[in-house]
């Protein structure tokens, strides 16, 4: 069991090292990108309202 955890941890570290240049570039682009909070918050609010509606219909 322990060797599986160690192997999974090693695989995670290797993946992070492999994708590091792409992650660094994505973070740099996100710093200079314009912020679009309404584009995130409106769909999130709609999903929350939909879930509340579904819960209310079940009761």
The count of domains in the chain is: 1
- Print burial letters for 11-34: b (CB count within 10 Å at least 16), e (below 16): eeeeeeeeeeeeeeeeeeeeeeee
Q: What is the pLDDT of residue 49?
A: 98
Domain that holds residue 29: 2-58
Distance CA 7, CA 9 (A): 5
Per residue of the chain (59 residues), give pLDDT as tens.
Answer: 688 999 999 999 999 999 999 988 988 888 888 888 889 999 999 999 999 999 999 98
């Amino acid at each position: 069991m322990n060797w599986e955890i160690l192997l999974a941890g090693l695989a995670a570290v290797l993946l992070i090292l492999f994708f590091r240049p792409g992650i660094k570039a994505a973070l740099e682009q996100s710093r200079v990108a314009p912020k679009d909070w309404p584009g995130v918050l409106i769909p999130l609010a709609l999903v929350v309202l939909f879930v509340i509606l579904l819960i209310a219909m079940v009761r």
